[in-house]
Amino acid sequence: MNLPSKSNDPRLRWVDAFINADPPSNLFAEHAIWRDYLAFSWDLQSFEGRSAILQALPHHRGDDLTIIEAHTAHEIIFSFHGTHGRIKALAEIHDGQCVRLFTSLEQMKPRPLPKTDAQEADKAGVLIIGAGQSGLALAAQLQAYGVPCLVAEQNPRIGDNWRNRYDSLILHDPVWVNHLPFKAFPDDWPTFTPKDKMGDWLEDYAKDLTLNVQCNCTITAAQFDEANALWQVQAEQDGKSISYSVPHIVFAVGTSGFAHIPQIEGTASFKGQQSHSSTYRSGASFAGQSVAIIGATNSAHDIAVDLVKHGAKPTLIQRSSTHVVPHKVYLDNILAPLYGPEHNRTLADADFLSVATPMRHLEEKGRAIFKKAQQEWHGFYQSLTNTGFALDFAEDGSGIIGKYRRSASGYYIDVGGAQYVIDGKISVITGKGVKDITPSGITLDDDHHLACDAIIYATGFGSMEEWVSRLINKDTADKIGRCWGYGSGYRGDPGPWEGELRNMWKPTPQQGLWFMGGNLAQVRIYSRYLAMQLSHNYQEAQQQ
Ligand SMILES: Cc1cc2nc3c(=O)[nH]c(=O)nc-3n(C[C@H](O)[C@H](O)[C@H](O)COP(=O)(O)OP(=O)(O)OC[C@H]3O[C@@H](n4cnc5c(N)ncnc54)[C@H](O)[C@@H]3O)c2cc1C
């Protein structure tokens, strides 16, 4: 711990004024950003600019101040007691003014709750749809907060969502960033987890934490009963129709639940095999074949490499450019600076620092990382573009940092596939869309015909809001609007600027409807924030 010793330390003076001054008008720089996660409202929000901050900041901020750490020359981490409980905060101070403030509810005020049986489905306060990493982590958090919940999973076994993916799939993220809440991966776990091992881990996770999961249980429809503020939910379990009545439902159905296959003329005429990337398992059955892969991002590359290894000849059809991020760049610049084991930081501390960075600053960070990467990896990128491959770093240069949060698409984390492209083992046709499909192949926009024996659609997945349309109705989906994206105004993420991922882990425009999702690190971090919101709602309802 590194406590500032001098009482004239500008950071200490700032914190003291933040807690005590009224109003704190000159404490924030003109362009300051304040990100608040449940400290002052039951929402995840970002406020940009002094006047927006001062408008949102309440009169009474809190008391019982503790200085935790002078984190860097300009940053200070402190905690105080606020209306919702214990708040942890990070402030970045320059010339006596705050340019960045993050306030986070760390420990909710305890409230006595009436006794309930968390295992009773019909008393569930929360019904979670989907027992992937998102649903399970949220269930674990809710259990810890004493909120009864049930997780419905359509697959026969927990973990099938990973088991059913292609055989060669190994997670890109290292184990040290992937731990789920309450149960860390063991020390001897491989750095990069093979997909079946991930599936088995999720199954063990649910068992060890005694989570209330119903498998073979498909949620088929849900309607909100306004009068009683309850969701009437229909499900099919083991061939029987069942129903639930719950105040809150959480969509934890992932973004890869249903395949997105573009409607292309002539599809039915094709003589060979056609499939979506989600059903691809291995290249074994494609040996000796020419395979056209429509798409050129993560799955397309992984599948193409696997096909080459099985003696097939893949061609990527790349309609628009792809951001390629070498795995080493991803690890060394994006994950390791906060989470790398060499820092000896606790996961909780790394998570706190991770979310203390607002979107604008993340974008800036992304631009700096990929400006440097383009210089350091110049030869590699040059070789790749020499093949005709269309490369980008996102419109603003922020690379995967921007793209992941905007649309979670348009990139390839390169674990070797780019070299296959450079070496000509994977062919690429660039800048052309598919015009139609013929019995023997694909006609491209420029009327060039690509003969092939099989077609794989690596064209992505339906959106989360589409799930709402399918399971509830279109009106509710329209009311909620987009999920994910923060209004950057760039490709796949139209404005207005929101500064937080839309509808994710926070209240949505529809009462009692929530979304949980993300990669393993996000799931660990945000399951806690969502559980605290649901716990707050649950407690309020119990008091009535
Ligand atoms: C090919 C591929 C490779 C990936 N590689 C990586 C990687 O290397 N590293 C990484 O961190 N992430 C990776 N991801 C991304 C991400 O981590 C996963 O998509 C992750 O599975 C998301 O977890 P989730 O729990 O939100 O959703 P999912 O894992 O999709 O789980 C959703 C669950 O909901 C269930 N469900 C859906 N509808 C219903 C219904 N109506 N009723 C009941 N149950 C329902 C599904 O059966 C499923 O089990 C990859 C994704 C894909 C597709």
For CA atoms 459, 460, 465, 469, the dihedral sign is positive
Instruction: For ligand 1, pick from 256, 260, 409, 463 the residue to mutate: most ligand atoms within 8 Å of CB.
Output: 256
Q: What residue ranges in 95-246 does DSSP mark as E strands?
A: 97-108, 126-129, 149-152, 213-214, 217-225, 230-237, 240-246
Residues with CB under 6 A from ligand 1: 129-135, 152-155, 161, 165, 169, 171-173, 218-219, 252-254, 256-257, 299, 517, 519-520
pLDDT of residue 544: 72
> pLDDT per residue over 508-534, tens digit each?
999 999 999 999 999 999 999 999 999
Nearest CA to ligand 1 atom 2: 299
**Alpha-carbon span 336 to 324, nearest angstrom:** 19
Band the pLDDT of 112: cuts 50, 70, 90. low
Nearest CA to ligand 1 atom 27: 254
Nearest to 221, CA basis, from 258, 256, 249, 252: 249
Q: Is 208 exposed, middle or buried (0-12, 13-18, 19+ CB in 10 A)?
A: exposed
CA distance 129 to 139: 11
| pLDDT attached to residue 16 | 92
Cα 208 to middle of ligand 1, angstroms: 21
Give 478's contacts (C-beta < 8 A, 6+ positions apart): none
Percentage of the chain exceeding pLDDT 90: 88
CB atoms within 10 A of CB 31: 11
| DSSP summary character for residue 330 | I
**To test ligand 1's pocket by mutation, which of 127, 136, 150, 153 has the most ligand atoms within 8 angstroms of CB?**
153
Query: Over the stretch 149-166, which tens digit does the pLDDT of each residue have?
Result: 999 999 999 999 999 999
Which of 128, 238, 253 has most ligand 1 atoms within 8 Å of CB, for mutation?
253
Residue predicted with more confidence, 47 or 256? 47
Atom of ligand 1 nearest to the CA of 134: 25
On the question of a common fold for 118-258+462-543 and 267-457, the answer reads yes
Say what the pLDDT of residue 246 is: 96
Whole-angstrom distance, CA of residue 487 vs CA of residue 498: 5
pLDDT band at 432 (very low <50, low <70, confident <90, very high): confident
Given this model, what pLDDT does residue 1 score? Answer: 45
Statement: residue 8 has pLDDT above 50? yes
Q: Tokens 């024996």 — which residue? A: 453
CATH of 267-457, picked from 3.90.550.10, 4.10.490.10, 3.10.20.90, 3.50.50.60, is 3.50.50.60
The predicted model gives 372-386 an average pLDDT of: 98
Distance CA 374, CA 392 (A): 11
Ligand 1 atom with least separation from CA of 169:
3
For the CA of 518, the closest atom of ligand 1 is 26
Rg from Cα positions in the chain: 25
- Region 16-30: mean pLDDT is 86
Q: Give the pLDDT band (50/70/90) at residue 384.
A: very high
Residue 282 in contact with residue 306, Cβ under 8 Å?
yes
Helix (H) or strand (E) holding 406: helix 399-406
pLDDT at 4: 58
The Å distance, Cα 264 to ligand 1 centre, comes to 27
Ligand 1 pocket, mutate which of 519, 524, 527 (most atoms under 8 A from CB): 519
Ligand 1 probe mutation, 138, 161, 198, most atoms within 8 A of CB: 161
Quote the ligand 1 centre to 118 CA distance (angstroms).
25
Instruction: List the chain domain ranges.
Output: 6-108, 118-258+462-543, 267-457
Whether 543 shows a pLDDT value over 80: the answer reads no
pLDDT value, residue 119: 46
Q: Tell me, in angstroms, the distance from the centre of ligand 1 to residue 246's CA.
A: 24
Candidates 195, 390, 384; CA nearest to 299 is: 195
Confidence of residue 121 (pLDDT cuts 50, 70, 90): very low
Confidence (pLDDT) at 3:
56
Shortest-distance atom of ligand 1 to CA 218: 42
DSSP code of residue 475? H
Residue 316 has pLDDT above 50, yes or no: yes
Q: To 10 degrees, the CA torsion angle through 8, 11, 16, 18?
A: 150
Greatest CA separation found in the chain? 79
Q: Which atom of ligand 1 is nearest to the CA of 130?
A: 34
| pLDDT band at 539; cut points 50, 70, 90 | confident
Six-digit token pair at 290?
Answer: 């020419």
pLDDT computed for residue 72 by the predictor: 85
Report the SS3 class of residue 241: strand
Specify the residue with its C-alpha closest to ligand 1, atom 12: 519
Q: What is the DSSP letter of 333?
A: I
Q: Is the pLDDT of residue 474 over 90?
A: yes
Residues in the chain: 544
Ligand 1, atom 24, residue with closest C-alpha: 254
How many A from CA of 505 to the centre of ligand 1? 16
> In the prediction, which pLDDT does 127 show?
98
Fold of the domain spanning 6-108: Nuclear Transport Factor 2; Chain: A, (3.10.450)
- Ligand 1 atom at shortest distance from the alpha carbon of 520: 11
The 10s digit of each residue's pLDDT in 293-313 is 999 999 999 999 999 999 999
Fold type of domain 118-258+462-543: FAD/NAD(P)-binding domain (3.50.50)
Average pLDDT score, the chain: 94
Dihedral class, residue 378 (left if φ above 0, else alpha if ψ from -120 to 50, else beta) = alpha
DSSP H stretches of helix in 8-153: 10-20, 50-56, 133-144
Give the distance (Å) from ligand 1 centre to CA of residue 172: 14
Tokens 């450019």 correspond to 321
516 CA from centroid of ligand 1 (Å): 11
CA of 306 to the centre of ligand 1 (A): 21
